[in-house]
Amino acid sequence: VSSLNIRSGQGDYSVDFYAEIPSLIEELLKVPHALFAIDEKILQLYPKELAPLLESRPSFPIPATEDEKTLKGVERLAVWLQEQKAIKQSTLVTIGGGIIQDICAFTAHVYFRGIPWMFVPTTLLSMCDSCIGAKCSINLGLYKNQLGTFQSPKRVFIASDFTRTLTGEDVASGYGEILKLMLTGSTEHLAFLEHAIAGTGLRNASLLELIRRSLEVKKRVIEADEYERDLRRILNYGHTFGHALESVTRHEICHGLAAAWGLDLINYISWKRGLLPEGDFKRIHEFIRKNLPFRLKSNIGVHDLISAAQRDKKVADGMVNLVLFAGPGNLRIVKTPFDATLAQQIGDYLEQHNVYR
Ligand SMILES: NC(=O)c1ccc[n+]([C@@H]2O[C@H](COP(=O)([O-])OP(=O)(O)OC[C@H]3O[C@@H](n4cnc5c(N)ncnc54)[C@H](O)[C@@H]3O)[C@@H](O)[C@H]2O)c1
Ligand SMILES: [Zn+2]
In the chain, the percentage of residues whose pLDDT exceeds 70 is 99
Q: What is the mean pLDDT of residues 125-153?
A: 95
Q: What is the mean pLDDT of residues 23-42?
A: 98
* CA 243 to ligand 2 center in whole angstroms: 9
pLDDT band at 311 (very low <50, low <70, confident <90, very high): confident
How far, in Å, CA of 39 to CA of 63, rounded?
6
Laid out side by side, the sheet with 59-62 consists of 4-6, 13-18, 155-159, 117-121, 91-96, 34-39, 59-62
Q: What is the mean pLDDT of residues 35-57?
A: 98
Q: Is 353 in the pocket of ligand 1 (CB under 6 A)?
A: no
How far, in Å, CA of 180 to CA of 234, rounded?
10
pLDDT digits (tens, 9 = 90+) for 192-201: 999 999 989 9
Q: Is 165 in the pocket of ligand 1 (CB under 6 A)?
A: yes
Ligand nearest to the CA of 237: 2
How far, in Å, CA of 167 to CA of 169, rounded?
5
* CA 357 to ligand 2 center in whole angstroms: 22
Q: Is 42 in the pocket of ligand 1 (CB under 6 A)?
A: yes
3-state secondary structure the chain: CCCEEECCCCCCEEEEEECCHHHHHHHHCCCCCEEEEEEHHHHHHCHHHHHHHHHHCCEEEECCCCCCCCHHHHHHHHHHHHHCCCCCCCEEEEEECHHHHHHHHHHHHHHHHCCCEEEEECCHHHHHHHCCCCEEEEEECCEEEEEEEECCCCEEEEEHHHHHHCCHHHHHHHHHHHHHHHHHHCHHHHHHHHHHHHCCCCCCCCHHHHHHHHHHHHHHHHHHCCCCCCHHHHHHCCHHHHHHHHHHCCCCCCHHHHHHHHHHHHHHHHHHCCCCCHHHHHHHHHHHHHHCCCCCCCCCCHHHHHHHHHCCCCCECCEEEEEEECCCCCEEEEEEECCHHHHHHHHHHHHHCCCCC
pLDDT digits (tens, 9 = 90+) for 65-106: 999 999 999 999 999 999 999 999 999 999 999 999 999 999
pLDDT digits (tens, 9 = 90+) for 312-323: 777 888 899 999
Residue 263 has pLDDT above 80, yes or no: yes
Q: Is 155 in the pocket of ligand 1 (CB under 6 A)?
A: no
How far, in Å, CA of 60 to CA of 73, rounded?
12
- Alpha carbons within 13 angstroms on the beta-carbon side of residue 121 total 24
Q: How far is CA 175 from CA 105, 129, 170, in A?
A: 23, 10, 9
Residue 108 has pLDDT above 80, yes or no: yes
Mutate to test the pocket of ligand 1, among 18, 100, 120, 126 (most ligand atoms within 8 A of CB): 126
pLDDT digits (tens, 9 = 90+) for 173-216: 999 999 999 999 999 999 999 999 998 999 999 999 999 999 99
Q: Are 97 and 64 in contact (CB under 8 A)?
A: yes
What confidence score (pLDDT) does residue 94 get?
A: 98
Residue 59 has pLDDT above 70, yes or no: yes
pTM: predicted TM-score of the whole model, two decimal places: 0.95
Distance of CA 76 to the CA centre of its chain: 24
Residue 300's contacts (CB-CB under 8 Å, 6 or more residues apart) are 245, 248, 249, 350
What confidence score (pLDDT) does residue 30 get?
A: 98
What confidence score (pLDDT) does residue 80 get?
A: 98
In the chain, the percentage of residues whose pLDDT exceeds 90 is 90
Q: Is 136 in the pocket of ligand 1 (CB under 6 A)?
A: yes
Residue 357 has pLDDT above 60, yes or no: no
What confidence score (pLDDT) does residue 77 get?
A: 98
Give buried/exposed letters for 244-283 (b at 16+ CB in 10 A, else e). bbbbbbeeebbbbbbbbbbbbbbbbbbbbbebbeeebbee
Residue 237 phi/psi, 5° resolution? -50, 125
* CA 254 to ligand 1 center in whole angstroms: 10
Q: Which residues surround ligand 2, an ion (CB under 5 A)?
A: 259
pLDDT digits (tens, 9 = 90+) for 77-88: 999 999 999 999
Cβ neighbours, 10 Å, residue 61: 16
Strands 135-140 and 143-150: antiparallel
What confidence score (pLDDT) does residue 355 get?
A: 67
Q: Is 161 in the pocket of ligand 1 (CB under 6 A)?
A: no
Cross-strand bridge partners of residue 137: 148
Q: How far is CA 130 from CA 84, 126, 264, 356, in A?
A: 28, 5, 21, 26
Q: What is the mean pLDDT of residues 45-50?
A: 98
How far, in Å, CA of 112 to CA of 109, rounded?
8
